[in-house]
Chains A and B, each alone.
Chain A
């Protein structure tokens, strides 16, 4: 997040700030540049160079291979289901905890953020004990002839677990700052609750919703651990794109694995570009109270 406060800090100095001496500055910047080149830039460069190492033709052949095509399709379908539901939940959750005070409100906020702290593997295993054949509802839904585990429903459910806080967490600090005055005015003037939400609240938070949604989308498309457990990793059927990468890699099809990885890397880089653009578009969002990041 780029903070507008950084410029302010530089105008007030009466003395040389710590670390601003030319030698210190150069040494610190040099260390950071080298570490960043090795640690953050090299992996990205390697993905693109490996994917294209056997020519652009091989790259596109790898991407049009049926297994990878199906994985892309499944990943997009999962995101198309999970992200909109997550937006509705995020809006409802943020509306509940910022426009009202009620006992248990703090507990509810903690619950919303809980999935951030839980390993995706634990989430996946937990789902096995709900819908698996050994699970709470497993025998029941099996008798009803519904397939949840090792199929699309489980993939969507597990993705929704790991991304539950994504939209809500972007909205809550912002809506907290905005308060309830505008909504109260609208309601007092006779607007219905739904009209108030649609015409007053939503326009105020639309960039934050979009911001949360693209982060949520990136995570849904990239989720590995939880989906790996609940999907059963059935080749050509329940392999999402991240699982397909592992499958190709285990098949020693390294070029194919890197081609598939390139698609997800492009999604990730696009996500970051949109994030930066949104932060510039909405200074409000950047000014929301400082909070630790989560993912």
Chain B
């Protein structure tokens, strides 16, 4: 296959494989090896224990809630950034990157202070009887914050690339704004929207730093899967840590396959697929 006059293939491939092998694959293999030592029966016992199941339930439910919020807010942000001109647009565009640039521990600290009972948002919410910090809702907020850019940055370029012709065609056929939005625009951006949402969901499932500050971390109530792994490790229960970590890895691979399938569909839809 390789018939290039450019030299350096061996060296660059060597560096790449060495780094990936030593830094990424070696630890993952060690983890899988450790988990396979545990044995299927024991693995099942660990994963089906009430505390693990409750952590999985909390993590998945709150990740879904966070993704649902990001789906709406992210779509609005992408729409505004792609279609409107207004003062402060560049600042808003830069602000979207804040959750990616800001360390998760800082985000967690700030959100906890905002939503604690004496916080800017926590105090009025407390008066209404709504508890966010140290409650499941706080987990969802931390997850939503850290993963909002995924939806915006996946959908924004697709809205920008929408041609005016399809809308004009819709208009000339007598469709109103809502009909064009629902029948013309939304189908065109839907694959990208779905891709962004699945990226946001996948990130939420694995989020740790931001969540542990705000969650309160009560077993069976506000304990996420990532934290349970960490706790098992601190208890020197390596079997359980390996089992739960491998389950998280399996979940990540499953999400990767889903996301890739959605993205392949997205690229085909846009007619850009060249891979």
Residues on A facing B (Cβ under 8 Å) = 1-3, 5-6, 9-10, 12-15, 17-21, 24-25, 28-29, 31-32, 35-36, 38-44, 46-47, 50, 85, 88-89, 92-93, 95-96, 99-103, 106, 108, 111-112, 114-115, 117-123, 125-130, 134-136, 157, 160-161, 164, 180, 183-184, 187-188, 192-194, 196-197, 215, 218, 221-225, 228-229, 242-243, 245-246, 249, 254, 257-258, 261, 264-265, 268-269, 271-273, 275-276, 289-290, 292-295
Contact = CB atoms under 8 A, between A and B. Distances in A.
A192 B98 CA distance: 43
B233 A130 contact: no
Contact of A222 (B20, B102, B167): B102
Lowest 3 CB-CB distances: which A-B pairs, in order? Answer: A222-B103, A119-B206, A193-B7
Nearest to A138: B30
A289 B28 CA distance: 31
Contacts, number: 329
27 contacts: A6-B83, A18-B185, A20-B84, A40-B95, A40-B98, A43-B110, A44-B110, A99-B6, A100-B2, A102-B13, A122-B252, A123-B27, A127-B27, A136-B26, A180-B4, A183-B6, A184-B6, A193-B6, A222-B105, A224-B208, A242-B105, A249-B109, A289-B272, A290-B161, A292-B154, A295-B149, A295-B203
B8 to A, nearest CB: 4
B106 interface: yes
Contacts of A271: 101
Given A184-B5, A292-B154, A293-B153, A118 B206 contact: yes
Nearest to B2: A102
Contacts of B256: 114, 117
B259 to A, nearest CB: 8
A58 B162 CA distance: 53
A18 B180 contact: yes
B19 A89 contact: yes
B180 to A, nearest CB: 5
Given A96-B13, A123-B27, A18 B109 contact: no
B229 A228 contact: no
Contacts of A25: 84
Given A35-B73, A36-B92, 11 more contacts: A3-B160, A6-B83, A13-B168, A40-B95, A42-B121, A102-B1, A111-B20, A120-B209, A121-B226, A121-B248, A293-B153
Interface SS of chain A: helix
Contacts of B83: 6, 9, 17, 19-20
A95 B8 contact: yes
Greatest chain A CB density within 10 A among B92, B113, B242 is at B113
A268 B104 CA distance: 11
Nearest to B255: A117
A222 B256 CA distance: 24
Interface stretch (B39-47, B48-56, B129-137, B194-202): B194-202
A15 B102 contact: no
A176 B275 CA distance: 12
A127 B27 CA distance: 5
Given A100-B2, A245-B106, A130 B27 contact: yes
B158 to A, nearest CB: 7
Interface string B117-154: 00111000000000000000000000011001110011
Interface residues of B, number: 111
B233 A128 contact: yes
Contacts of A44: 98, 102, 110
B215 interface: no
B120 A100 contact: no
B68 interface: no
Greatest chain B CB density within 10 A among A50, A99, A196, A293 is at A293
Contacts of B5: 184, 187-188
Interface string B169-194: 00110000100110001000000000
A15 B171 contact: yes
Greatest chain A CB density within 10 A among B27, B150, B160, B255 is at B27
Given A17-B164, A19-B83, A31-B76, A225 B104 contact: yes
Contacts of B96: 40
B191 to A, nearest CB: 11
Contacts of A228: 208-209, 230
B233 A17 contact: no
B106 A264 contact: yes
B63 to A, nearest CB: 12
Contacts of A243: 105
Contact of A2 (B24, B90, B162): B90
B115 to A, nearest CB: 10
A47 B86 CA distance: 27
A250 B150 CA distance: 31
Given A121-B206, A134-B238, A293 B100 contact: yes
Contact of A164 (B20, B93, B97, B110): B20
B100 A180 contact: no
A193 B16 contact: no
Contacts of B114: 42-43, 46
